[in-house]
């Protein structure tokens, strides 16, 4: 399915009066970005910053509780960094829960292609591969000091997290 909107009510609720919304390269209407109100403009906000993989993990059975997803999106919102080839807008459209909170989901398109991800860094560390130049030296020192992301620590965590 493609990300499209057929209802004129949905289109009207997403656009400013008298202005056409730009479509992306695939002809999809973008998810609306929140505009700060006068009361909250300049006030720091806490949001979940993540990649598209976390957004898509919301659909993995038994990984997230629906009430936790709803709380994150209602009370905080999220900023999702999208990479080339990800279909975050389509994923949001196809999920009733995400669609109902679309006002609090901000998509930030990665404009410089970078294939490095936290998942790949953790995998490299588990495999005893170097991640030098991928993370700051202080972060690498912290990871090594606390023995994070080793095969052993991942095994221990798998027993804690159902």
Q: Encode pLDDT of 16-26 as tens digits.
A: 444 555 666 66
Q: What is the pLDDT of residue 111?
A: 78
> Hey, how many other C-beta atoms are within 10 angstroms of the C-beta on 52?
19
46: left (phi over 0), alpha (psi -120 to 50) or beta: beta
- Name the residue with higher pLDDT: 44 or 83: 44
**Statement: residue 114 has pLDDT above 80:** no
Q: Encode pLDDT of 143-152 as tens digits.
A: 999 988 887 8
How many angstroms separate the CA atoms of 45 and 54, rounded? 20
Per cent of the chain over pLDDT 70 is 72
Per cent of the chain over pLDDT 90 is 41
- Determine if the pTM surpasses 0.75: no
Average pLDDT, the chain: 78
């Amino acid at each position: 399915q493609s990300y499209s909107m057929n209802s004129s009510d949905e289109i009207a609720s997403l656009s400013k009066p008298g202005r056409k919304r730009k479509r992306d390269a695939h002809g999809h209407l973008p998810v609306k970005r929140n505009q700060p109100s006068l009361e909250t403009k300049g006030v720091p906000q806490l949001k979940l910053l993540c990649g598209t993989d976390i957004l898509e993990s919301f659909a993995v059975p038994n990984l997230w509780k629906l009430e936790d997803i709803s709380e994150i999106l209602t009370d905080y919102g999220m900023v999702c960094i999208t990479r080339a080839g990800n279909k975050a807008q389509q994923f949001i459209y196809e999920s009733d829960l995400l669609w109902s909170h679309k006002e609090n989901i901000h998509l930030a398109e990665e404009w410089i292609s970078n294939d490095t991800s936290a998942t790949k860094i953790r995998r490299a560390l588990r495999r005893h591969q170097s991640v030098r130049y991928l993370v700051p030296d202080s972060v690498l020192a912290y990871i090594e000091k606390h023995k994070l992301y080793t095969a052993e620590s991942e095994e221990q965590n798998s027993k804690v997290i159902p």
